Structure 1
Amino acid sequence: MSEPAKHITTARCSCGSVELEATGAPILGAACYCDDCQAGARQIEALPDALPVRDPDGGTAYLLYRKDRFRCSKGDQLLQGHKIRETSPTSRVVAACCNSAMFLRFDGGPHWVSVYRARFEGDAPPLQMRINTKFKPENGDVPSDVPGYSTFPLRFVAKLVAAKIAMLLRR
């Protein structure tokens, strides 16, 4: 008996020249308010013709996918990494064709990629939490639609660990 096909979700840049594919459900949907996400968003938003990266409340919404379930299906040569500091362990990857924020990756690091939720068309998987809310902008109120945490909650870490174990077991 064959396995059922896994659902593929597509994320696109604003002009359609870059496409990302994510297979299956995300590990987690989270909006982050940390200083680095805010600085990275400002850096990208300052690029010519770039769309907003942050939500109106100052958070940056991501869907986290396992690296083995994520790929660029179109326009890979247009992807360009941006660092907020030369020594940053992360790169915010932008589609250079239209300066759309696409995903955040850890250089040589973890087993997941944080894809900007706004890049998904249609009904993107929902947010499940808001993290690092202690860094929210002074003039921003954090919505209460999902649980909010001042740092990284145990639930966040547990989901990442479970995803790593599933990858190791090839599930």
Structure 2
Amino acid sequence: MSEKTEIKQLGADVLRQWACAVDDFSSVEFHELIDTLLDVMRQSNGVGIAAPQIGVSLQVVVIASRPTARYPLAPEMAPVVMVNPRHEVLDATLIKDWEGCLSVPGIRALVPRHRTVKVAYQDKEGQDCQIVLHDFPARVFQHEFDHLQGLIYLDRVQDNRDIVAESEFFKRIAA
């Protein structure tokens, strides 16, 4: 299934919709969705992905911080599948840092995000879980959570001059 799964691009209606809560944790389609999200994220060198990005308007995200070609300085973190997530800000400090998105290729932007969040979610079996995320993993979660609310990272940019071509971004981090 994931070999042919396309990542929806900016302008696709599904990226601007509120995602629906998952209430059936036992369906084959739900578990295939999770497998597809993991596969597409890995194949795309992403550090996170949300179901709307592959055209499924359900509240499912995967957070998987790790160093990649797109995020060479990312810390290592095993993939976490989060279903029906919600979060609480634990550190209201807003930090601006660079983000990109598989649904908005070729562009990076400085985006303000909270430094620390506590996330409550269900795992793929429907069990209640919590995790506290700091810094880059917290940023990844907030980015993916936005997808569930019909937002993309460019909606959070404070100044249009903070948006750059990805080629320019890589020049800046190499300097």
TM range, smaller chain: under 0.3
Report the TM-score, using the length of structure 1 for normalisation: 0.23
Q: Which of the pair is proportionally richer in helix?
A: 2
